[in-house]
Chain A
Amino acid sequence: MAKLTVERLKKQFGTSIAVDELTLEVAQGEMVALLGPSGCGKTTTLRMIAGFVAPTSGRMLLGGNDITRVPPHVRETGLVFQSYALFPHMTVAENVGFGLEMRGVSRAQRGPLIAEALGLVRLSHLADRFPKQMSGGQQQRVALARALAISPKLFLLDEPLSNLDAKLRAEVRTEIRSLQQRLGLTTLIVTHDREEALTMADRLVVMEGGRVRQVGSARELYEEPRDAFVAEFVGRCNLLPATREDDERVRTRGGLLLSSRRRADESSSASTLAIRPERIAIEPGHHAEIKGQLEAVTYLGAHTEYQVLLGESERVVVTRPTPVRDDPMLSVRTNDPVSLTWDTEAPRLIPETAKD
């Protein structure tokens, strides 16, 4: 395993810029997720690292060697494709052994290595099957084994879970993460699924429009988003256009004064108040500072979601554990008056789009 360094990587297709000066580092044994909506450039970035797309400019280093112009078949990366891309005319064992065969490992020596790789994904008993004779989840694990069998310097995962159903997804997610940690794999995963990224990766790189919006741990991105895009992309978030009134308050576009303590790192271009729905407390009546009217209640099982109208036109969503027994919120109906409170540290005043 080796460290991956990407420096000012850029890819232009005609006039459109798919990836714009992307700089990124994946430490040895670290798992980093490229997270973003479709079209954000994350897949192009992965394909440049694997060698299928030639960058317009910038460079990539793997284990200290410049691989920018190295053809894909000598890059020593192990890529798991979204579609798995198993060779349909080869058995599972032949698929897993293909990379070893390409490295000149003799048939006799391949046997135990194939068995070991299949053992990692608990598929030893299906070595003689053809891919089409297996379920999607099994094919996915064969693809993992095939990529791992070559002991790649870098493990690349392209939306590895998107073809699995929800239950299997959670299972494979845990499996990939534990494999990655056990084997100390330097891993880059590309995904548009924030849950996938938040639960698996050590660090996340949020991309949008070919650019990196923010890099950080799941907690950092969730609790200290740099801008409104990141705040919304990594989790549900109330975003209210607002300006700084004083050190303790902001004024929304609708004219409401809301409490929000100024932070040392607050940007001067900050124009959006961001507050997570679960950081807001809600109670019946108009006894607290922020007064509103309940517009809708959505029961979600463990949680209940309340949509509240503040002032004339501003809406916030509040989530909290579903009230039980004699909780006063149980008797609140649509159009009833409600009040909101939050810790003055909970909201953040952030820019719409962070500038570098």
Chain B
Amino acid sequence: MAILLVPACILILGLLVGPLCLMFRISLNELGPTQLMVEALSADNYVRAATDPYYQQIVLTTLGVALLCTAITLVIAFPAAYWLGRVENRWKSVVLIATLFPLLVGNVVRSAGWMALLDRDGLINWGLARLGLIAHPLQLMYTPKAVVFGIIAVVLPYMIITVSSVIESIPLQLEEAAANLGASPIVVFRRVVLPLALPGVAAGCTLVFVLCMNTYATAVLLGGPRFKMMAPAVYDQFIRSNNWPMGAALAFILLLFTMAFTVLGSLGFARRYGKVPRGPSERLAPA
């Protein structure tokens, strides 16, 4: 049966692990004065990325944006996810499709739409000016806020879907039992729903954080040339500056942070209490 894994393994080894090894080797090379790349074995690029304020800023901005976006996304997604995980009527599938719909729109297309909305001549400025609320157009584009909101719009569905599936797996009877024992709705949430939803919250946050860290199109299109996040910086080093070693080093730093948070996410919430006891076929729904 293991033979079934072969095609996927070949693809992953050949197109992911291989190039990554290659890139790690490149990251240890140096940028020469006359040649683009000089064979070397030095950690210079990593040292520079860690000490040069320019690169420090990029790393910090990226981490900050990713953490902020993840936190806001969680707060926005949880109520919707709870609703989706609990409700049982025809609206559920409608909302589910509506939630997934944004994923059908590519990031570039979506960001272009945001540009039309937020630009100096965009819909919002036009509307506000027509209403006489502003004399001069507001600077909405090319701000960190625009990037944060843009990213949240992209990653929200992932968080909602991940968290709602874990909510769905928490029997409603547990909430009823807690209420029966005297817990108010807030206490039920804090003592029963949230602890049991933590694995899903952790998975959702990890997924969303990774997506945020690697944001490219949204950062470039809504953040503008001066707003630097890591994925665009990697691209710049490779394509604009032709500095492959530095680009490779940045890429690895990005990978490192992403993986570190993934591991943290899965370790931090790895507590397991075993299977939730399930009732038999007769449900507690109106009999």
Q: Which A residues are within 8 Å of any B CB, using their own CB?
A: 11, 13, 18, 38-44, 47, 50-53, 71-75, 77-79, 81-89, 98-99, 102-103, 130-133, 139, 146-147, 150, 158-159, 162-163
Residues of chain A contacted by B271 (CB below 8 angstroms)? 89
Measured CB to CB, the nearest residue on chain B to A40 is: B287
Residues of chain A contacted by B177 (CB below 8 angstroms)? 79, 81, 85-87, 146
Is B277 located at the chain interface by the 8 A CB criterion? yes
Is B91 located at the chain interface by the 8 A CB criterion? no
The residues in B between 130 and 185 inclusive whose CB is less than 8 angstroms from any CB of A are 171, 173-174, 176-185
Residues of chain B contacted by A87 (CB below 8 angstroms)? 174, 177-178, 192
Q: How many A-B residue pairs have CB under 8 A?
A: 117
Can you list 15 pairs linking A and B with CB atoms under 8 Å apart?
A11-B286, A41-B287, A43-B284, A71-B179, A73-B180, A73-B184, A79-B180, A81-B279, A86-B177, A86-B277, A88-B196, A131-B277, A133-B274, A146-B181, A163-B280
Q: B180 near A77 (CB under 8 angstroms)?
A: yes
Q: B287 near A44 (CB under 8 angstroms)?
A: yes
CA distance A159 to B287 in the complex (A): 13
Contact A82/B282 with A18-B287, A44-B287, A102-B187 known, Cβ cut-off 8 Å: yes
State the interface size on chain B (CB cutoff 8 A): 32
Contact A72/B179 with A82-B279, A83-B171 known, Cβ cut-off 8 Å: yes
Residues of chain B contacted by A73 (CB below 8 angstroms)? 179-185, 188
CA distance A53 to B271 in the complex (A): 34
Measured CB to CB, the nearest residue on chain A to B181 is: A99
Q: A102 near B183 (CB under 8 angstroms)?
A: yes
Measured CB to CB, the nearest residue on chain B to A79 is: B180
Q: B176 near A52 (CB under 8 angstroms)?
A: yes
Measured CB to CB, the nearest residue on chain B to A102 is: B182
Is B5 located at the chain interface by the 8 A CB criterion? no
Residues of chain A contacted by B185 (CB below 8 angstroms)? 73
B245-287, CB under 8 A of A: which get 1 and which 0? Answer: 0000000000000000000000000010111111110101011
Question: A88-B275, A162-B282 provided; 6 other pairs, C-beta below 8 A?
Answer: A38-B282, A72-B176, A73-B183, A77-B180, A85-B174, A132-B275
Residues of chain B contacted by A72 (CB below 8 angstroms)? 176, 179-180
Interface residues of chain B: helix, strand, loop or mixed (majority) = loop
CA distance A93 to B273 in the complex (A): 15
Residues of chain B contacted by A44 (CB below 8 angstroms)? 286-287
CA distance A73 to B26 in the complex (A): 63
Q: Which B residues are within 8 Å of any A CB, using their own CB?
A: 171, 173-174, 176-185, 187-188, 191-192, 195-196, 271, 273-280, 282, 284, 286-287
CA distance A162 to B271 in the complex (A): 31
- Identify B274's interface contact among A71, A75, A98, A130, CB under 8 A: A130
Q: A89 near B273 (CB under 8 angstroms)?
A: yes
CA distance A130 to B174 in the complex (A): 15
Contact A132/B176 with A40-B287, A89-B196, A102-B181 known, Cβ cut-off 8 Å: no
Residues of chain B contacted by A83 (CB below 8 angstroms)? 171, 173, 277-280, 284
Measured CB to CB, the nearest residue on chain B to A82 is: B279
- Identify B273's interface contact among A71, A84, A98, A132, CB under 8 A: A132
Q: B195 near A89 (CB under 8 angstroms)?
A: yes
CA distance A203 to B203 in the complex (A): 52
CA distance A290 to B155 in the complex (A): 81
Q: How far is the CB of A197 from chain B (nearest CB, A)?
A: 16
CA distance A327 to B171 in the complex (A): 58
Q: B284 near A84 (CB under 8 angstroms)?
A: no
Q: A85 near B287 (CB under 8 angstroms)?
A: no
Measured CB to CB, the nearest residue on chain A to B279 is: A83
Can you list the 6 inter-chain pairs with the closest CB atoms, starting with the nearest?
A83-B279, A132-B274, A102-B182, A99-B181, A43-B287, A85-B173
CA distance A99 to B188 in the complex (A): 12
CA distance A85 to B180 in the complex (A): 11
Q: How far is the CB of A208 from chain B (nearest CB, A)?
A: 12
Q: How far is the CB of A48 from chain B (nearest CB, A)?
A: 10
Measured CB to CB, the nearest residue on chain A to B185 is: A73
CA distance A43 to B177 in the complex (A): 15
Q: A99 near B182 (CB under 8 angstroms)?
A: yes
Q: How far is the CB of B226 from chain A (nearest CB, A)?
A: 47
CA distance A99 to B183 in the complex (A): 8
- Identify A85's interface contact among B176, B184, B195, B275, CB under 8 A: B176
Residues of chain A contacted by B277 (CB below 8 angstroms)? 83-86, 88, 131-132, 139
Q: B180 near A78 (CB under 8 angstroms)?
A: yes
CA distance A150 to B180 in the complex (A): 10
Residues of chain A contacted by B183 (CB below 8 angstroms)? 73, 98, 102
